[in-house]
Structure 1
Amino acid sequence: MAISDSSAPRTVRELGEFALIDRINAGRVQAPAVVLGPGDDAALVMAPGGRVVLTTDMLVQDRHFRLDWSSPADIGRKAIAQNAADVVAMGAMPTAFVVALGCRADTPLEVIDDLVDGLWAEAIRAGGSVAGGDLVCSRELIVSVTAMGALVSGSPIERAGARVGDVVAVSGRLGWSAAGLAAFTAGVTGAEVEQALAAHRVPQPPYATVLDALQDRAIDSPAGQRVPQRPNIGLHALTDVSDGLLADLGHIAGASGVAIALDSAALHDPALEPIAAVLDADAVQWILTGGEDHAFVGTWAPDRPLPAGWLAIGRVEAGAGLTVDGAATIGDGGWESFRATGSGARW
Structure 2
Amino acid sequence: MTETLGSTGEFGLIEAVTRSLPRGEDVLVGPGDDAAVLAVPDGRMVITTDLLVEGRHFRQDWSSAYDVGRKAAAQNLADIVAMGARPTALVVGFGGPADLPTAWALELNQGLADEAELLDVSIVGGDTVQSDKIVVSVTAFGSLDGRSPVLRSGARPGDEVAVAGRLGWAEAGYAVLNRGFRSPRTVVDAHRRPQPPYAEGPRAALAGASSMCDVSDGLIADLGHIAVASEVVIDIRSQALAIPEPLQAVAAATGADALTFVLTGGEDHALVATFEPADVPDGWTVIGSVAEGNESLPAGTVTVDGATYTGATGHAHFRS
TM-score for the superposition, normalised by structure 2 = 0.82
| Offset of residue 174 of structure 1 | 0.4
Percent of pairs with identical residues: 53
Large movers: runs of 4+ above 3 Å:
none
Who is 1:197 aligned against? 188
Shift of the alpha carbon at 1:142?
0.8
Residue 303 (structure 1) shift: 2.4
Name the SS for the 1:273 alignment partner.
Answer: helix
Q: Which runs of 5 or more residues in structure 1 are unaligned?
A: 1-46, 215-229, 341-347
**Counterpart in 1 of 2:57?**
64
What's 1:81 paired with? 74
- The residue matched to 1:235 in structure 2 has which SS? coil
Of 196, 212, 224, which residue of structure 2 is paired with 1:250? 224
Pairwise CA distance, 1:138: 1.0
CA contact (8 A) 2:91 2:125 kept: yes
Q: Return the alpha-carbon distance in structure 2 between the equivalents of residues 140 and 108 of structure 1.
A: 13
How far apart are residue 112 of structure 1 and its match? Answer: 1.4
Question: 2:91 is matched with which residue?
Answer: 98
Q: How far apart in 2 are the matches of 1:198 and 1:286? A: 16
Q: How does 1:90-169 map to 2 (within 5 A)?
A: 90-169=83-162
CA distance in 2, matches of 1:243, 1:168: 17
Deviations 1:27-57 (A, max 9, x none): xxxxxxxxxxxxxxxxxxxx68422111111
Change (3 A) 1:213 1:244: closer
1:297 aligns with 2:239: no
TM-score by length of 1: 0.76
Unaligned runs of 5+ in 2: 1-39, 294-298
Distance in 1 separating the partners of 2:254 and 2:308: 27
Greater C-alpha Rg:
1
**Can you list the C-alpha shifts for 1:278-322, whole angstroms capped at 9, x where unaligned?**
222101111111111100000011122x22321000111111211
Task: Give, in angstroms, the shift of residue 268 of structure 1.
Answer: 3.0
Instruction: For 2:191 and 2:146, locate their aligned partners in 1 and report how far apart those are by CA, in whole Å.
Output: 32
Question: Which of 148, 156, 175 does residue 168 from structure 2 map onto?
Answer: 175
Tell me the equivalent position of 1:318: 292
Displacement of 1:332 = 5.3
What SS class does the counterpart of residue 51 from structure 2 fall into? Answer: strand
Q: Report the CA distance between 1:178 and its aligned residue.
A: 0.7
Q: Which letter maps to 2:122? A: S
Structure 1 residues 234, 331: CA separation in 2 closer, same or farther (over 3 Å shift)? farther
1:213 deviates by 4.3
Equivalenced residues, count? 275
Shift of 1:210: 2.1
Q: Partner letter of residue 197 of structure 2? A: P
Work out the CA distance in 1 between the residues paired with 2:240 and 2:85: 28
1: CA distance, partners of 2:224 / 2:105: 38
